Structure 1
Amino acid sequence: MGTTVAAPKPDNIEKITVYNILFIIGLCHLLNDALQAVIPAMFPILERSMGLTFTQLGLISFTLNMVSSVMQPVVGFYTDKKPIPYALPLGLTSSMLGMFFLAFAPSFETILLCVFFIGLGSAVFHPEGSRVAYMAAGNRRGLAQSIYQVGGNSGQALAPLMTALVLAKLGQAGAAWFTIFGGVAVALLFYIARWYSSRLVMYTPKKRKAQRQMNVESKKAIKGALLIIIFLIFARSWYISAISNFYAFYTIQNYEASISQSQSYIFLFLLMGAVGTFLGGPLADRFGKRNVILFSMLGTVPFSLALPYVSPLLAYVFLALIGLVLMSSFSVTVVYAQELVPGKIGTMSGLTVGLAFGMGAIGGVALGFFIDKIGLNPTIISVGFLPIFGLLTFLLPKDERIQEWYK
């Protein structure tokens, strides 16, 4: 499973790829994101059982993702200066408790409170989890980040399937079964935290000098590149939010699908997104991160524009292709940002991943509002144009240029 060397020397510590740690942190990411993804997967159930409007459903998504997005960069910034290994199991404990009480929440306000604690746990987990992946990566950062991120995407893909198998039968109370995921993750993260603590004794970042030089000579280029990354994350996150939160309603309305059948569309989209996330890292290591980001955005456009007009069967095919292509840049975007600003691993992870959650949160509220005002079908048609923002990728500095900044 892993490459283990007894008492590795500090000079060689960053060159060793520790696969067992990568797979465990990836599994924990799967369990963490499965808890989060249960929330939007429950929307059809909550809408029927509690009579919630699309705007209220959007506010639930907003609370979950905004708490996570706002806190992730804060946690990452703090832990860049003072890492906290045991924050990982503590964060998952918060998510586990939030999920348990969500199963018995009697009102919309109580649901928001439970979702707050789930989002808080995720905010703590993601930047520190990304740091663990970075420290265990050795010389294979693209692959390492893909292993870590594909865990999260796989967890998101499992939630609709679990909804069809569990929540569709048990209703809101069935959410209590998902606390088992949280308990397993907490136990594994105590093991990760012990490894993380021992690694900190030997691990020393080596790019402080390069970062200072980069800040002086290329400050404007860095800010411009990060701004473009933000726009790309905006486009990708809003589209993913539209599909994961509201496409189930589209299939129910247009294809006369049941709740369980509607979740199969979301499951396939997220499952292929997980596959795309895994493939993106190795492809970026070979063909360049900028090229993979460009392909993932523009390659999605034909399918996203055509999706609202295809048959129920062809919709499965198009959703699979969209998930595969669009999500291939998810982990790559994180690594690209980390290499833009080395030495700020947690901050850049919190910014990119947290921003994705934040954009998804805003998108959930905005899209829910648009659906209430102009209708479901026009909204789904409109979001198909979002991947066109991928044209901005041409303005990003190439991988070779970033490498030259650190020679």
Structure 2
Amino acid sequence: MMQAIIPAIYPQLERTYHLSLSQIGVITLCAQLSASVFQPVVGWLTDKYPQPFSQLTAMALSSCGIIVLAYANTYFQIIIAVMCIGIGASIFHPESSRVANLASGGRLNMAQAIFQLGGYAGLACAPLLVVMVILPNGQQSVLWLLLLTFLGKILLLYVGLWRRRILQSGFQKANRHMEDIRPLNRKQVRRSIVVLLLLIFSKYFYSAGISNYFQFYAIGNFGATEEQAQMYLFYFLLSTAIATLIGALVADRWGKIFVIRLSVLGSIPFAVMVPYGDITTAVVLITVVGFLISLSFSPILVYAQQLMPNKIGMVSGLFYGVAMGMSGIGTAILGSLADVKGIDYIQNIISLLPLLGLVVFLFPQRTKDGFYIA
């Protein structure tokens, strides 16, 4: 929710500080890069030197970002605020993904989906918080989020103590449920990791494009109010939250590869139709696309972790980090293009992003010896 509150208040920031869409894109770039650059490093360090209370530190950093955002009155201060929130996220994700594996009881897809469901629920609730609290009461009302961060710190203290007990007991392997996975050879592993990163990039880039710019598209092209635009964004983000859990259930039943293919290929026809409908059609279509592309997130992450079972933290940080960083760069470029070409132009570009999912056909083929994680 703390991360999602930033794009949710973009229209208000644009109006208050007279920002251009390229400046909005730079805010997103700073938020995404700060949330991404450190993640593989944090994951690698915690693989070697476990830090059971790192999540608590992450929540404290993000809380500082919320305070700065509440009192920011310059563009530079907004940048500082989003970077604090982003760095908190970069510390939080790798260790949290490891904890989800430890607590999975063998149901890896479901464990990752439940963890991600919390994140997507926060993303979906951010527009509602803006409509009900921030728009009526102003920028400083984001301080209400600190109540949630206080509760979060209590929960994370409990998680940290639980994790420390596991470390003290000498049981430090987060990959105990992955040892029965037959490994691919090194070349196949590299190829699969690259394909999975491209799929995650496609998903994050599309989601970032919709989260940051669909509000402006709805307001500028169809005369939607700011409140209506926030609700459209809520529908999209809610669909991603629901799909995360459903994708894990389907993956446990029919396999990760089936879900990944269904997700990336099924979303393409709906995405390309978005720019050609009225506002109702467009909202329905982005909601469907959001649902489909989010089915595969936990299967993709679990698949990557199974490919490199001894580097759970680094892999998790790599996937969260690279996806966020690259989508942040892409969103900044889209913002600059929007200032020059208009919001319609970038909506057309966003609608084509799911076509990147065609790289799913580059997965290593199943061999006679059964090399293919299904």
CA-CA distance at 1:384 after TM superposition: 1.1
Give TM-score, length-normalised by structure 1: 0.86
* CA distance, structure 2, for counterparts of residue 194 and residue 389 of structure 1: 42
* Structure 2 partner of 1:235: 202
TM-score, normalised by the number of residues in structure 2: 0.94
- Whole-Å separation in 1 of the counterparts to 2:127 and 2:342: 24
SS of match in other structure, 1:323: helix
1:86-101 superposed matches below 5 A: 86-101=53-68
1:159 partner amino acid = A
Aligned partner letter, 1:46 = L
2:10 to 22, 26, 43: 43
Distance in 2, matches of 1:340 and 1:139, equals 16
Match of residue 316 from structure 1: 283
Deviations 1:31-61 (A, max 9, x none): xxx0000001110000000011111111111
- What are the residue-to-residue correspondences of 1:295-306 with 2, within 5 Å? 295-306=262-273
User: How far apart in 1 are the matches of 2:328 and 2:219?
Assistant: 23
Partner of 1:75: 42
2:297 matched residue in structure 1: 330
In structure 2, relative to structure 1, the CA distance for the partners of 1:55 and 1:344 (3 Å cut) is same
How far residue 234 of structure 1 moved from its aligned partner, in angstroms, is: 2.1
TM alignment of 1:4-15, pairs within 5 A: none
2:194 matches 1:265: no
Percent identity of equivalent pairs:
37
Q: How much is the aligned-residue C-alpha RMSD, in angstroms?
A: 2.2
- 1:9 maps to what in 2? none
Q: Tell me the equivalent position of 2:113.
A: 146
From the superposition, tell whether residues 290 and 147 of structure 1 become closer, same or farther in structure 2 (CA, over 3 Å). Answer: same
C-alpha spacing 1:278/1:398, structure 2 compared with 1 (3 Å)? farther
One-letter identity of the residue aligned with 1:122: A
1:169 offset after TM fit, Å? 1.1
Structure 1 spans left out of the alignment, 5+ residues: 1-33
**Partner Cα distance (1:400, 1:107) in 2:** 58
Paired residue type of 1:52: L
Inter-partner Cα distance in structure 1 for 2:105 and 2:162 = 15
Q: Is the CA contact (8 Å cut-off) linking 1:290 and 1:393 kept in structure 2? A: no
* Equivalent residue in structure 1 for 2:252, among 285, 299, 323: 285
Given the alignment of the two structures, is residue 388 of structure 1 paired with residue 331 of structure 2, yes or no?
no
TM-fit CA distance, 1:87 = 0.9
Give the Cα–Cα distance (whole angstroms) in 2 for the partners of residues 253 and 92 of structure 1: 36
Supply the distance in 2 between the matched residues of 1:140 and 1:111 (Cα, whole angstroms). 40
**Structure 1 residues 210, 401: CA separation in 2 closer, same or farther (over 3 Å shift)?**
farther
Give the structure 1 partner of residue 171 of structure 2. 203
Alignment partner, residue 16 of structure 1: none
Structure 2 unaligned regions, length at least 5: none
Q: Alpha-carbon deviation of 1:397?
A: 3.5
The alignment covers a number of residue pairs equal to: 370
Measure how far apart 1:401 and its partner are.
9.0
Alignment of 1:163-242 (within 5 A): 163-200=130-167, 201-205=169-173, 218-242=185-209
| 1:403 Cα deviation from its structure 2 partner | 7.5
2:322 aligned to which of 355, 366, 385: 355
| Offset, 1:400 | 9.0
Report the alpha carbon displacement of residue 110 of structure 1 after superposing the two structures with TM. Answer: 0.9
Higher helix fraction (1 or 2): 1
Contact 1:334 1:353 in 2 (8 A): no
